[in-house]
Amino acid sequence: MTGLEPTRSPAQTAADNDSPRTNVDPGGPNEPRRRRGRARLLLPLLTTLGLIAAWQLLSVVGVIPQEIASPARIVGWLAEHVQTVGFWTSLRLTLWHWAAGLAIAVVAGVVVGLALGTVPVVRLLLNTTLELLRPIPAVIYLPVVLLLWGGTSTTAIMLVAVGAFWPMLFQTAYGAGAVDPMLQDTGKLFGLRPRQRLMQVTLPSILPYVATGLRISSSLALIVAVAIELIGGVPGLGADLAKFAANGVYDGLYGLIAVTGVLGFIINLGMERAEHRVLHWHVAHRGGST
pLDDT in tens, the chain (290 residues): 444 445 555 545 544 555 555 454 555 556 666 777 677 778 888 998 999 999 999 999 989 998 899 999 999 999 999 999 999 999 999 999 999 999 999 999 999 998 898 888 988 998 889 989 999 999 899 999 998 998 899 999 999 999 999 999 999 998 888 877 777 777 777 777 777 777 777 778 888 899 999 999 999 999 999 999 999 999 999 999 999 999 999 999 999 999 999 999 999 999 988 888 887 776 666 654 44
Calculate the alpha carbon distances from 105 to 101, 109, 163 in Å.
6, 6, 8
CA pair distance 151, 142, nearest whole angstrom? 10
Query: Which CATH number is 151's domain given?
Result: 1.10.3720.10
CA pair distance 241, 50, nearest whole angstrom? 27
Per residue in 69-96, pLDDT (tens digit) is: 999 999 999 999 999 999 999 999 999 9
Burial category of 113 from C-beta neighbours within 10 Å (exposed 0-12, middle 13-18, buried 19 and up): buried
194: Cβ contacts below 8 Å, ≥ 6 apart: none
- Is 26 within the bounds of a domain? no
Q: Check if the beta carbon of residue 98 is closer than 8 Å to that of residue 160.
A: yes
246: Cβ contacts below 8 Å, ≥ 6 apart: none
Q: Check if the beta carbon of residue 172 is closer than 8 Å to that of residue 110.
A: yes
Nearest to 170 by CA among 121, 197, 135, 219: 135
State the residue range of the domain holding 152: 70-285
Q: How many other β-carbons are positioned within 10 Å of the β-carbon of residue 123?
A: 17
pTM score, whole prediction: 0.80
CA pair distance 233, 150, nearest whole angstrom? 9
- Is 135 within the bounds of a domain? yes
- Is 43 within the bounds of a domain? no
Domain count, the chain: 1
Per residue in 147-183, pLDDT (tens digit) is: 899 889 999 999 999 999 999 999 999 888 887 777 7
Calculate the alpha carbon distances from 54 to 48, 60, 73, 259 in Å.
10, 10, 15, 20
- Is 49 within the bounds of a domain? no
**What integer best gives the mean pLDDT of the chain?**
84
